[in-house]
Chains A and B, each alone.
Chain A
């Protein structure tokens, strides 16, 4: 099992550009999460999903969108990139809310 796979690993965007961060998991987990981690800070939840077709906002959803059309995939979309979105983004999944979360390797995103 690959676990949670995130692509790309690194990306540089210009202000105003859009992009999608991909996340896929092969563990048949219902729950999936997107976090961002700013330098010296903890992880902050952007969006999460409790199953295909269901998504909900976390602590810092502004500027992002998500979709969950399948159990495996949970892409994160930035429509108009801003410098404040420069961060490391982590995707995670879990079997249920009470089970440990499994993390991907992260995507380092810079907005210039």
Chain B
């Protein structure tokens, strides 16, 4: 069965420090992966997707098929990065996303 695992429910780092939110997936086909973010009092929204290969708000994520991972990284965390982050997997040919449990990131001043 397809699965997305985010091993850290909570992650706390200091401002200016590097941050990495882990995401591992289980899927035998060709994956399409996303990171969604929910800031306090805001809606869940797309942060980035692996096929875009872009950096959004300083975040990047590289799909590693060998390790079945799609970790989200930022070299210098900012306080406004504090939010809930969800990794999601789209199944090839299916109309749905499989979400991980989410990681709550807190950036300390």
Contact = CB atoms under 8 A, between A and B. Distances in A.
A42 B46 contact: no
Contacts of A31: 95
B9 interface: yes
A31 B95 CA distance: 8
A42 B102 contact: yes
Interface in A52-94: 56, 58-59, 90, 92
28 contacts: A3-B43, A4-B43, A31-B95, A35-B99, A40-B101, A41-B101, A42-B6, A42-B86, A42-B100, A43-B86, A43-B97, A43-B99, A45-B96, A45-B97, A56-B95, A58-B96, A59-B96, A97-B90, A98-B90, A100-B34, A100-B46, A100-B49, A101-B46, A101-B97, A103-B43, A104-B43, A105-B43, A106-B43
Interface of B: 4, 6, 9, 32, 34, 43-46, 49, 86, 90, 94-102
Interface of A: 3-4, 31, 33, 35, 40-45, 48, 50, 56, 58-59, 90, 92, 97-98, 100-106
